[in-house]
Structure 1
Amino acid sequence: MYVEFQQLPAHSRVWIYQANKVFNEQELTFIQSYLKQAVQDWNAHGAPLASSFQIRYNQIIVIAVDEHLHAASGCSIDASTGWFKDLAFQMGINFFDRSVALVQEDSLILFPLLGIKQVVAKGKISPDSLIAIPQVKDLADYRAHWPAQANDSWLKKYFVAASV
């Protein structure tokens, strides 16, 4: 059952999907329509899931569900992953991109994960850079700490080495 994103409680569970490109207006409209229907119909063993989505930077989709009403089951989580596989097939967009997303004002700069140590060493990402981290504890964590400063993320290990 679709719920407005801002109405979901702080304890809601969150999944973050990052696309490998910025959505154009046509893609954005299609994704919003697709996900609104998918979330509306989302259920766990027949029980509707109070859930929603949010699109950030025209490139990142955040899915949230209030599990206090009904917990998302393995099958329902698989179904939500299936939405993004289907969208990827229909639109030619990779929603399982593992690049590091640097936030620059209202857009993202993606850096390949395998070369991130060199990106940090070159100063393209600094400890206070904002990073669109791929995982958060819950909706409260998302609202309070997303995007996160690089030094408060898994990238902090590269700044310790860089400053020694």
Structure 2
Amino acid sequence: MDIKNILPADFSPASRVWIYQSNRPFSEQEALEINEQLDQFTAQWNAHGDEVTGWGKLLFNQVIVLMADESRTMVSGCSTDSSVRIIKSMERQYAVNLFDRLLLAFLVEDKVQLLPLAQLNYGIEKGFISEDTIYLNNTVLTKQEMETRWLIPIKESWLATKLQKTVSS
């Protein structure tokens, strides 16, 4: 997937990004509803009364991405809180977990596969994933980082140190 073709071209490379990964894929109907809710939210997103230039989309039927172009309006604590509220609302609405940072996501045959961090070594030993498996690096903070460092091979991520321990042991 060429992420550059999906992200808004007119947003600054420094635009802030928030990534929320679901513990399960959404159904087609849920995906339509989520994208509609994201459109509605970003259309009325404000920071101290000023409109935030925002964008939101569900990717891979499992990953919600919110982006704010701060070249026009800086995102405030209140506007960040409002974005977290919509995500928490979706969590409740669809009975999913969108805040589990210990659940790692990988692209296997163009589908998101999840693996708890604690089972990373098991996944490598059993051949479910390898150093070339694409990892969703959900720690990226900007549009530019998302374009260049979001979908990366495990060997180029912070997980590489875990991979080398497994291979060498």
TM-score, scaled to structure 2: 0.88
Letter in 2 for 1:25: E
Deviations 1:44-91 (A, max 9, x none): 111111010122111001111111211111121111111111111122
Stretches of 4+ aligned residues off by more than 6 angstroms: none
Change (3 A) 1:6 1:93: farther
Which residue among 75, 89, 103 is the counterpart of 1:86? 89
Q: Percent identity?
A: 34
- What RMSD over aligned residues (CA atoms) do the two structures have, in Å? 1.6
Question: Counterpart amino acid of 1:104?
Answer: V
Q: Please, what TM-score do these two structures have when normalized by structure 1?
A: 0.90
Contact 2:132 2:153 in 1 (8 A): yes
Matching residue of 1:114: 118
Shift of 1:134: 1.2
> Does residue 136 of structure 1 match 2:140?
yes
1:17 to 20, 23, 36: 20
For the Cα contact (< 8 Å) 2:45–2:52, is it kept in 1? Answer: yes
Give the paired residue count.
161
- Which stretch has the larger CA shift, 154-163 or 119-128? 119-128
Aligned partners of 1:26 and 1:97: how far apart in 2? 23
Kindly indicate whether the alpha-carbon contact (under 8 Å) linking 1:16 and 1:63 is maintained by their aligned counterparts in 2.
yes
Gap runs ≥5 in structure 2: 1-6
Residue 51 of structure 1 aligns to which amino acid in structure 2?
A: G
Are 2:151 and 1:147 equivalent residues in the alignment? yes
- Tell me, which stretches of 5 or more residues in structure 1 are unaligned? none
Partner SS, residue 57 of structure 2: strand
